[in-house]
Each structure stands twice: as C-alpha cells, then as structure tokens.
C-alpha cells in the first residue's frame, strides 16, 4: 500500500528522484555511494572510473570524500577520473579553470595518482581539439566506460556544457556557451565580457554510457529547471530531459531544489493532504490563479475539478473557506509598517505598541535598502519611527574601474582648487591607470582602488538614506570582514562579523529589524548577511530583555518576490511614493544603467523594483483585493 501511495505521489515524475532535507545530507549520501563503489572495486582489484563535475553543486560531495580519505582511510589509488568539461580557451592555472577547481576541492587532498586524472585541455590550438575529443572518448571506452557519472544542472537545463540544441547521441566536442550560462558565470570572471564563449564538454551520448548517473541540484534557484527536467516532455530545449530515457539515472535533490515538483508544490493534485492553515491558503490562492477567478467567486465545482475535493468535504462549505482565506490575505495589507497607534492590532501584521518603534534596516549591499523596501523605509521615517539603516558590506567589488578614475580626477582637481599638494593623489592615480589595462579577470584590486570603490558606494548610500529622511547618526557602515577580500569569493563568516552585529544591535535595541531574506540572490551575500544577524540574535536572546520584544521582518531584493501565500505584511505604495522610492534608488549612481553584476536580468534595478512591486499589487488585485499602485512584501521570521 505504501508503494502504491508513493507511485501516486510521484506520478508526474518521469525518472527516480531522491529528496533530502538539505544539501549537506544529500552531499554526504552521494559521497557515500561513491566511496562504496571505490571500496567495492578495490575488493575486486579493479579500477573505479568516475565522471566528475565542477561548480558549486558537488563541492559538498568532494569535501565529504576528502574527510573520508583523511579520517576513514578511503584510498583513491584505484580511481581514474574524467571531468565533464572545461572552458575554452583556459589556462589550467587560471582561477576560473576547472583544473584549479578540481585540485583545490579534491585532488590535492587525496592520494589519487595524477596520471589517473583527466580534464579537457583548454590550452589546445583549435585544430587540435577534434583529435583531443576523440582520444578522450577512446580513453573512457578502453577502460570499459564510466562506472558512475555525477552531474549538476544549469539553469538552461544543460548537463556538462551540453546546451539547448545538443543531440542525445553527442560525443565529446567543442561547444558554444548559452548566454544565460555565461551570465551565471560572470561573477567568477569579473564580468560577462571575460567569460569564454566556448567550452570542451563530454557529450550527452558519452554521459549516457555510464553505468550509473547521479544528477544533483540544490537551492530554489534550480527548482524551475528541475521541474522541467523531471516532469517535462523530452526536448532538446532542455538537454537534461534526455536523462528520462536512461534506466540508470537518479536525481538527488535538496528540499529547495525539489520544491516545484508537483508532489511538493501542489500536493493536493496527487494525494490527500493534512490541511494546515498555510497549505489551505496556498491551495486556494493557487486555485484562484489557475482558473483566473477572485477568491470569493470560487465554487465547489472549481474545488472538485482541480484536485481540492478533499478540502471542500473536510472544511467546507467552500464559501466559508473562501471568506477565511480572503480575510487572511486582506489582513496582511497595512499602511502602517511600524504598527498603527491607538488601533486594534489583533488583525494587523504589526503591533500597535510601542507607537514609536526603534527600527533597524539591515542592507547587505549599500543599495538593497532602497531597492527592496524603499517605500516602506520612507513610510517608517514619515510616520515618526526611530529608524536606523546598517550597510553590512562595502559593496566595493561592484564598481566599474572607470568610475574610480573619474572620482580620482575629481579629487585631484578639488585638491588643486584649494591650494593643496596633489603629488600623492597624482601618483596613486597614475598607478591606477597603469594597473587597469593589465588587470586580469577577477584579479584583486589594489587596496587603494578598493578603498575608492568603497567610498563611492558609501557616499551613494548616505545620499539615499538622507533622501529617505535619516539623520547622519542613524546611518551605520559595518564593513563586515567576511566581505572584504577584494574578490567575488568571500571569506567564511568569523567571530568579528557576529560581534560587530551584536554591538550595533545592543546600541540600538530595536523593536523591529528588517533584513534581506532574498536567499536566491545569485551573489550569495544576502544569505550570509542574514545568517550573521541570526547568529547575533541567538547570542543575545535570553540575555537582553529587548530581544524578546523584537520582531524580524524579511524583505526580498531585486531578484524575486515572496509567493503570495507566504506574505505576512504587504505595504501599499501610492504613485507618489513609487516616485520617491525611485529617486532614492537613483542616488546609487554607480549601479545605474548597467551594474557590474546585474544577474540574469537586463533591466535596471529601479525598473526591476517597480515591476516587482506592481506585480505584487496586481496579484492581490486578481484575488479580489483592493487595487493599489504597488506593494512591498514582508515575511516575519520567528527566531
């Protein structure tokens, strides 16, 4: 019976999928399977032939294999490896090289024979590539093929660098990279312009010959493409769908990557559910959007025809369900993000008391505050709350080199105008002009250049916060040390990061904290900054009385919004407030037009922000709520 239930739950899935609660558990599980294969082959006196992948996804697997080598005696003497791909052209010593990646994350820490390591050669002349690829295939065949191939998946659906349009029988070859793939890699190269346009990759046909294939994916960022790969039709537009044809494949996912699969996203379509308040709200909103009806117009027939008969029977009549959900959504809307004084707050998202709250807005980068919640920021100040803003990082990696020269030229001219000596400034300026033309992709700037870039972003942040109404002593620059590497890859969070946050919190003793909960931020800084805040609050909890009366609200940044059923506070903005927010964003001139790291969205940040908040308002309108110009959304995090 249990097996039948599982088959029903997974009936939309066209290949085997294993889901773990987090990527660490999933990575350990995959590493254990690799270790078991290696030991099994060792016992038989045979070689284990592994196909390996690069990127963020397999790092945890490699870390666990290294741990087992060092702590559990796992030997790699009998292991032969073939990597999936490499950029072309690419020097093996380059920071972005997959040779560098593999040695940094695995090979340098284990006892594998160097002659047993095979990675596509990014230094070949073009006329040598075809012969190299044929030899690569021949080496794998002569060893009897791959015992196990591990894969990640790109947002285009590529496996290896087999981009959309790749043939299912393709072999190792040179390919042209998709634009989205290059945009995703831009941060590693210091900008998309420096990302190679070509790569050498194993083909889908080569991958298919492996006796076992494991595709791994973590995070909500991968959820949409995982749904297409697992539940979609086989198509060259999504190369990973070809894996549906294999009898030896398994997808290993964390809960976030699996979140859009039918059994997790809309479970009422495949099984009976335990209808808690959150699931009921999600289902009713889904139904309203699915058939394009306001919530209060949904009928019993609508429920029955769309997999929600169980809810109608157990908690109906459906009109009562509709009214309940409508009221829940309506009660999220407030024009008083700090709480409305002298009002009944039982149906409001924020407390009425204290009437004037101490609020702190944590901004991971120097512009996230106004981009993400600029309207609410201004509203809090206008309504008389004691608002502080804390910029957690300098953001100094996201400034164009040209801007540095422009500001240095200004500094030199100004210094001359007041009769001061400019010799030192002029020397620094000449050094910078000499450095920039020779700068390699993602090469660390000199300390002076990093300082100037940080000063540019600092002055912009001050200007934006002042425009929102803050006094200078309410504007705080934390410059958390984890960020200050000069590289896109940051250090691990340290004690100083947490202590600086504790010190600021103890100084302000806020009743409200606003923090970036945009964990799909492709640059990763938002999640790190949020975890630092949580670590600080965890240490203060039970020791500082004010913490018990402090609420933490998460906002989302330029990347995407909360789902409607998740939203707990929606702050409507008037047309005039949308303009004020736009003007605050405009203060960040270095991020205007084309920022250094735009993500995969060509729109300017202010356009993204306005489109996102208008879309949130329209989603509420379609459900039958009042029509507003725009809305900023928040979810409370209970710590």
Catalytic residue set:
163
φ, ψ of residue 72 in degrees (nearest 5) = -125, 10
User: Could you report how far apart the first and last alpha carbons of the chain are, in Å?
Assistant: 39
Q: For the purposes of burial, counting CB atoms within 10 Å of the CB of 524, is it exposed (0-12), middle (13-18) or buried (19 or more)?
A: middle
Q: In what order do the strands lie in the sheet with 569-573?
A: 475-477, 386-391, 358-363, 512-516, 551-555, 630-637, 569-573
Q: 285, 325 in Cβ contact below 8 A?
A: yes
Alpha helices (H) in 218-355, listed in sequence order: 223-231, 262-265, 277-290, 300-305, 309-315, 318-330
266 alpha-carbon distance from chain centroid? 23
Q: Distance between CA atoms of 616 and 626, rounded to whole angstroms?
A: 12
Q: 82, 139 in Cβ contact below 8 A?
A: yes
Q: Distance between CA atoms of 176 and 385, rounded to whole angstroms?
A: 54
Q: 448, 428 in Cβ contact below 8 A?
A: yes
344 alpha-carbon distance from chain centroid? 38
Q: 78, 48 in Cβ contact below 8 A?
A: yes
SS3 for 206? helix
According to DSSP, residue 599 is labeled: T
Closest by CA position to 397, among listed 457, 481, 476, 482: 457
Q: 632, 624 in Cβ contact below 8 A?
A: no
CA distances from 340 to 81, 334, 347, 509 (A): 63, 9, 11, 21
Closest by CA position to 202, among listed 134, 102, 147: 134
Closest by CA position to 350, among listed 168, 341, 247: 341
CA distances from 216 to 26, 51, 340, 421, 597 (A): 8, 13, 47, 60, 26
Which three-class secondary structure string do you get for 82-139?
EECEEEECCCCCCCCCHHHHHHHHCHHHCCCCHHHEECCCCCCCHHHHHHHHHHHHHH
Residue 137's CB: how many other CB atoms inside 10 A?
Answer: 19
Q: 188, 272 in Cβ contact below 8 A?
A: no
Residue 274's CB: how many other CB atoms inside 10 A?
Answer: 6
Q: Distance between CA atoms of 98 and 137, rounded to whole angstroms?
A: 19
Q: For the purposes of burial, counting CB atoms within 10 Å of the CB of 480, is it exposed (0-12), middle (13-18) or buried (19 or more)?
A: buried
Asked if residue 354 has a cis previous peptide bond (ω within 30° of 0), the answer is yes
Q: 361, 369 in Cβ contact below 8 A?
A: yes
């Amino acid at each position: 019976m249990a097996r039948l239930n599982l088959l029903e739950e997974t009936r939309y899935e066209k290949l085997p999928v294993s889901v773990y609660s987090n990527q660490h558990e999933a990575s350990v599980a995959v590493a254990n399977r690799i270790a078991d294969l290696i030991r099994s082959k060792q016992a038989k006196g045979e070689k284990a032939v592994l196909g390996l992948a690069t990127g963020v996804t397999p790092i945890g697997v490699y870390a666990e294999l290294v741990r087992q080598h060092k702590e559990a005696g796992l030997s790699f003497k009998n292991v032969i490896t073939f990597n999936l791909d490499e950029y072309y052209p690419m020097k093996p010593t380059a920071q972005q090289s997959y040779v560098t990646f593999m040695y940094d994350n695995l090979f340098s820490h284990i006892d594998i024979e160097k002659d047993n390591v095979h990675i596509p050669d990014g230094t070949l002349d073009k006329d040598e590539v075809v012969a190299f690829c044929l030899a690569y295939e021949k080496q794998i065949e002569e060893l009897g093929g791959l015992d196990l191939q591990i894969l990640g998946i790109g947002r285009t659906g590529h496996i290896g660098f087999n981009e959309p349009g790749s043939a299912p029988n393709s072999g190792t070859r040179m390919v042209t990279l998709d634009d989205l793939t290059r945009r995703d890699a831009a941060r590693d190269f210091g900008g998309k312009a420096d990302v190679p346009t070509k790569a050498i990759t194993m083909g889908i046909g080569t991958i298919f010959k492996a006796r076992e294939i494991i595709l791994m994916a973590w995070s909500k960022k991968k959820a949409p493409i995982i749904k297409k790969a697992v539940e979609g039709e086989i198509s060259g537009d999504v190369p990973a769908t070809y894996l549906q044809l294999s009898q030896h494949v398994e997808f290993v996912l964390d809960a976030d990557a699996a979140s859009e699969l039918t059994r997790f996203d809309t479970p009422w379509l495949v099984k009976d559910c335990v209808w808690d308040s959150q699931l009921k709200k999600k289902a009713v909103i889904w139904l309203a959007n699915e058939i394009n009806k306001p919530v209060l117009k949904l009928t019993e027939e609508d429920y029955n025809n769309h997999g929600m008969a169980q809810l109608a029977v157990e908690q109906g009549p459906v009109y009562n369900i509709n009214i309940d959900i409508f009221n829940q959504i309506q009660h999220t809307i407030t024009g008083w993000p700090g709480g409305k004084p002298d009002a009944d707050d039982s149906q409001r998202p924020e407390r009425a008391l204290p009437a004037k709250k101490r609020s702190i807005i944590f901004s991971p980068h120097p512009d996230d505050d106004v981009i993400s919640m600029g309207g609410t920021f201004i509203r809090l100040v206008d309504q008389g709350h004691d608002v502080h803003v804390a910029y957690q990082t300098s953001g100094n990696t996201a400034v164009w080199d040209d801007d540095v020269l422009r500001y240095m030229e200004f500094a030199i001219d100004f210094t001359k105008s007041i009769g001061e000596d400019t010799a030192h400034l002029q020397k620094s300026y000449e050094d910078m002009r000499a450095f920039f033309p020779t700068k390699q992709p993602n090469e660390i700037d000199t300390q002076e250049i990093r300082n100037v870039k940080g000063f540019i972003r600092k002055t912009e942040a001050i200007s934006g916060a002042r425009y929102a109404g803050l006094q200078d002593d309410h504007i705080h620059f934390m410059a958390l040390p984890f960020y200050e590497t000069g590289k896109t890859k940051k250090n691990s969070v340290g004690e100083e990061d947490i202590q600086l946050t504790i010190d600021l919190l103890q100084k302000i003793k806020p009743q409200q904290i606003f923090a970036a909960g945009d964990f799909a931020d492709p640059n990763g800084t938002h999640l790190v900054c949020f975890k630092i805040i949580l670590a600080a609050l965890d240490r203060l909890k039970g020791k500082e009385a004010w913490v018990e009366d402090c609420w933490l609200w998460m906002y989302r940044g330029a990347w995407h919004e909360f789902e409607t059923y998740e939203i707990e506070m929606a702050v409507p903005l008037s047309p005039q407030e949308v303009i004020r927010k736009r003007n605050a964003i405009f203060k960040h001139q270095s991020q205007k037009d084309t920022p250094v790291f735009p993500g995969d969205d060509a729109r300017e940040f202010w356009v993204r922000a306005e489109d996102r908040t208008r879309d949130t308002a329209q989603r509420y309108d379609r459900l039958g709520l009042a029509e507003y110009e725009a809305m900023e959304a928040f979810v409370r995090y209970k710590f």
